[in-house]
Amino acid sequence: MRLAPGQSVSMTEATDVALRCPHCRHTGVFFPVQDGWDTRWWESVGDDMEKRAAGARVCPNQDCGGIVLVVMHEKELVESFPPEMIDFDATALPERLLATLEEAARCHAAGAYRACALMVRRLLEELCDDRKADGANLKARLSSLGSANLVPTELLEAADELRILGNDAAHIDGKSYDNIGADECEAALELAKELLKAVYQYNALLDRLRALKKSRD
Ligand SMILES: [Zn+2]
């Protein structure tokens, strides 16, 4: 979002806005930094002119306090900086995989879709490394995750699609996917989350349930 040269601006009262925080990933109602004012201007959108307002907001999570710049149209969010990220569960994920998943989500939020697909492919490599899945290449390593019964067959097929998408993102002659855009990356991230859930998080959940069982014996 930019102001045109010589764009005239005025002030408008800053309002609260619901966001998923790009810093802590909690959803909350962000409030103006001070009870104050946003900068307002008129933006041409197609044949129409629409009001825009921009200003800073603060995450309501007291452990976070992250600041986000929002651009609003009336009471609707147009854009935020940093952008909102898709949600993911960090429970029981090894640090290295968590960092890569977070980077993939940041790439997606920033509209860097090919970079996102590459990060998802890297996640697969790291998953194979962590689980000591051997093989001559990533395809073979993924299928050895299946033979070790670490990942159900349906998810293995999904993992192979993620590998192919990542290949296309890395190579200029990639041709399995016509386009690597928001939809492809969103689906890829959702599948990657399911894969991580199967390998790391079901057991963590089971342990939690078992711990509750013992405490009541
Ligand atoms: Zn936050």
Q: What is the pTM of this model?
A: 0.79
pLDDT for 18? 94
Least confident segment among 66-75, 155-164, 200-209? 200-209
pLDDT for 216? 58
Q: With residue 101 as reference, give the H or E element that holds it.
A: helix 95-109
Give distance in angstroms: CA of 47 to centre of ligand 1. 37
- Whether 54 shows a pLDDT value over 80: the answer reads yes
Tokens of 102: 């977070």
- Whether 63 shows a pLDDT value over 70: the answer reads yes
Confidence of residue 217 (pLDDT cuts 50, 70, 90): low
Tokens of 121: 């492919």
Q: Once rounded to an integer, what is the mean pLDDT over residues 7-20? A: 92
**Is the pLDDT higher at 151 or at 15?**
15
Query: How far is the CA of 134 from the CAs of 131, 137, 140, 154, 196, in angstroms?
Result: 9, 8, 7, 20, 18
Give distance in angstroms: CA of 174 to centre of ligand 1. 38
Looking at residue 189, its amino acid is: L
Give dist(CA 184, CA 117) in Å, integer: 9
Tell me the residues surrounding ligand 1 (ion) with CB < 5 Å.
21, 23-24, 59, 61, 64, 66
Phi, psi of 168 (to 5 degrees): -60, -40
CB 68 within 8 A of CB 56: yes
Q: CATH 1.20.120.330 residue ranges in the chain?
A: 95-209
- Whether 59 shows a pLDDT value over 80: the answer reads yes
pLDDT for 27? 92
Summarize pLDDT for 93-112 with one digit per residue, the tens. 999 999 999 999 999 999 99
pLDDT for 176? 77
In terms of Cα–Cα distance, which of 129, 125, 181, 193 is closest to 155?
A: 193
In terms of Cα–Cα distance, which of 85, 60, 115 is closest to 193?
A: 85
Give distance in angstroms: CA of 32 to centre of ligand 1. 14
Phi, psi of 89 (to 5 degrees): -100, 125
Q: Once rounded to an integer, what is the mean pLDDT over residues 27-33? A: 93
- Whether 72 shows a pLDDT value over 60: the answer reads yes
- CATH classification code of 95-209: 1.20.120.330
Give distance in angstroms: CA of 42 to centre of ligand 1. 30
